[in-house]
């Protein structure tokens, strides 16, 4: 029985030594004055854990150490990380969250190095049935910190994005780091990012641009409105590259386009004074090109414009015929529009063709050469 | 970044080898590449109180053999039978 006692002593001593090492590590992470780890110390910690693992014939010690690993991280998180997060709010809470996330990762990385033998031996032999040490670390953060704070954090981030949309400068690096927290806590998938953050961002985006659209459509002429749309779309795209996940881009663009272009299409395009027909009448090539550019990516976005184009040709042609003038030049004139503004798109070729067929039929005029 | 590292056996023998060779051991590699941590990673000295001199010597030979093998020089690495067990354990310990 003395052998057992020896073993137990060894285990207790070993664990006490490891515990001291962990305390030192935590002090360093928390920024307290503490000399950095010496190579010898690191080797001793690694060796202690290694020795404890190979002592047991069953996996008893390895299991205990594995459980202790998790417990150490949980205790650190519950007693030191969470309290410091709970006492902060808004942007300060966000900063603290990012800081804590980074510290957590450093902590887990170091701890996993000390416990490395467990990863290689005990975890490996379980063949994927249990989590690796790094995964354990990530899970602790996710379950204890992320779960509690992700909703509050999301609100704070959306507030910042709203501020930026209104023209204020915000800390873009901070938002970028936070988005990364959402992505990383998805543990390999983008679901967490999408469900806990992106979906709310998209909702916010839609309502923001919906109210902008209502205001602008009242105040602005079509050309100015379109300029604004172009500008804001560029800004949103730029926003994505700076701090959102790249997969968000098409989704955000779709929302903006929907609110600013689709919902108000009729009002915008058919505006008597500045809409599509007016632009055609006044030879506004740039504005028409812009219109094409903006509506081209939208499914069925060009159809209404092509229709108005056709109607316009028919009207002009008909009035010319009434004045007994030939309509040949009309075809060339409108071909210019099709090529220069509408990028040779088949829809517009078709619209032009149909318009002239109608004129020929109904106008009763001589064949056009 | 030093070019060489020093490995010390339990009897106090010092083996000075190339950094690149030492990094064949994952354990040594993670120690030497830890950012912002080890005060001695600049000096590159590691003591192995549990590894005897002949074993450590064999391990250093193995490091060099491993580098050569990965560069295409496919020779055999001979292990004296009486060293095998200790060598395996040391390899396990050093993650080599």
Q: What is the pTM of this model?
A: 0.82
Minimal Cβ distance to B38: which of A38, A46, A47: A38
pLDDT range class, residue A294, cuts 50, 70, 90: very high
Task: Give the pLDDT confidence score for residue A231 in this predicted structure.
Answer: 95
Task: Give the pLDDT confidence score for residue B40 in this predicted structure.
Answer: 45
Q: Do A37 and B47 touch (CB under 8 A)?
A: no
Task: Give the pLDDT confidence score for residue B77 in this predicted structure.
Answer: 87
Closest CA to A130 of A54, A62, A53: A62
Task: Give the pLDDT confidence score for residue B42 in this predicted structure.
Answer: 56
pLDDT digits (tens, 9 = 90+) for B33-85: 765 455 544 567 888 888 999 999 999 999 999 999 988 888 888 888 888 88
A120: which chain B residues are within 8 Å (Cβ-Cβ)?
95
A179 Cβ contact list (under 8 Å, min separation 6): A157, A193, A197, A243, A244, A245
pLDDT digits (tens, 9 = 90+) for A311-325: 999 888 888 878 777
Q: Given CB atoms, is A125 within the 8 Å cutoff of chain B?
A: no
Percent of chain A with pLDDT over 70: 96
Chain A residues 64-123 with CB within 8 Å of chain B: 110, 113, 116-117, 120
Q: Given CB atoms, is B47 within the 8 Å cutoff of chain A?
A: yes
Q: Given CB atoms, is B30 within the 8 Å cutoff of chain A?
A: yes
Angle between helix A328-340 and A285-295 (nearest 10): 50
Burial class for B21, CB neighbours closer than 10 Å (0-12, 13-18, 19+): buried
The alpha carbon of residue B10 is apart from the nearest alpha carbon of chain A, in Å, by 13
Mean pLDDT of all residues belonging to chain A: 89
pLDDT range class, residue A129, cuts 50, 70, 90: confident
- Mutation for B interface: A28, A42, A110, most B CBs within 10 A: A42
Minimal Cβ distance to A50: which of B34, B46, B93: B93
pLDDT digits (tens, 9 = 90+) for A9-48: 777 888 899 999 999 999 999 988 888 888 788 888 998 8
Query: Which 3 state secondary structure label does DSSP give A366?
Result: coil
Integer Rg of chain A from CA: 33
Q: What integer is the mean pLDDT of A145-158?
A: 94
Residues B27-60 as b/e (b if ≥16 CB within 10 A, e otherwise) read bbbbbbebeebbebbeebbbbbeebbebbbbbbb
| CA atoms A281, A285, A290, A296: torsion sign | positive
The alpha carbon of residue A247 is apart from the nearest alpha carbon of chain B, in Å, by 32
- Mutation for A interface: B9, B33, B38, B56, most A CBs within 10 A: B38
Q: Given CB atoms, is A12 within the 8 Å cutoff of chain B?
A: no
Assess whether pLDDT exceeds 90 at residue B96: no
Q: Given CB atoms, is B20 within the 8 Å cutoff of chain A?
A: no
């Amino acid at each position: 029985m003395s052998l057992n006692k020896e073993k137990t002593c060894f285990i207790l001593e070993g664990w006490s030594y490891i515990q001291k090492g962990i305390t030192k590590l935590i002090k360093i992470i928390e920024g307290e004055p503490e000399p950095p780890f010496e190579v010898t110390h690191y080797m001793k910690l690694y060796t202690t854990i290694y020795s404890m693992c190979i002592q047991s014939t069953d996996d008893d010690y390895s299991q205990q150490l594995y459980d202790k690993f998790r417990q150490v991280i949980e205790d650190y998180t519950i007693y030191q990380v969470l309290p410091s997060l709970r006492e902060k709010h808004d942007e300060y809470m966000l900063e603290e969250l990012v800081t804590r996330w980074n510290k957590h990762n450093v902590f887990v990385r170091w701890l996993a190095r000390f416990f490395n033998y467990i990863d290689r031996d005990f975890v490996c032999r379980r063949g994927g049935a249990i989590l690796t040490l790094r995964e354990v670390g990530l899970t602790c953060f996710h379950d204890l910190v992320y779960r509690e704070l992700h909703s509050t954090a999301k609100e704070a981030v959306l507030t910042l994005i709203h501020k930026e949309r209104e023209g204020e400068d915000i800390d873009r690096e901070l938002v970028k780091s936070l988005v990364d927290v959402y992505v990383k806590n998805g543990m390999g998938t983008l679901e967490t990012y999408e469900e806990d953050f992106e979906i709310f961002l998209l909702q916010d985006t839609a309502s923001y641009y919906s109210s902008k659209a209502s205001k602008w459509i009242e105040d602005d002429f079509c050309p100015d409105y379109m300029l604004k749309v172009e500008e804001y779309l560029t800004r949103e795209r730029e926003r994505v590259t700076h701090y959102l996940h790249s997969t968000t881009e098409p989704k955000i663009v779709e929302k903006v386009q929907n609110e600013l272009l689709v919902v108000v299409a009729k009002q915008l395009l058919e505006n008597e004074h500045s809409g599509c027909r007016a632009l055609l009448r006044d030879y506004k090539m740039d504005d028409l090109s812009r219109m094409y550019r903006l509506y081209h990516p939208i499914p069925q976005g060009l159809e209404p414009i092509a229709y108005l184009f056709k109607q316009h040709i028919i009207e002009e042609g008909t009035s010319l015929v009434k004045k007994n003038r030939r309509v040949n030049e009309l075809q060339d004139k409108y071909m210019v529009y099709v090529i220069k503004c509408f990028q040779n798109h088949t829809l517009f070729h078709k619209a032009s063709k149909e318009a002239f067929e109608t004129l020929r039929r109904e106008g009763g005029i001589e064949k056009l050469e | 970044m030093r070019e060489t590292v020093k490995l010390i056996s339990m009897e106090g023998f010092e083996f000075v080898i190339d950094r690149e060779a030492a990094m064949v051991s994952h354990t040594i590699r993670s120690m030497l590449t830890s950012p912002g941590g080890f005060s001695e990673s600049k000096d590159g000295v590691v003591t192995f109180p549990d590894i005897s001199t002949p074993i450590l010597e064999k391990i250093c030979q193995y490091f060099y053999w491993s580098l050569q093998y990965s560069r295409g020089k496919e020779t055999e690495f001979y292990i004296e039978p009486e060293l095998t067990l200790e060598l395996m354990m040391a390899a396990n310990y050093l993650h080599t």
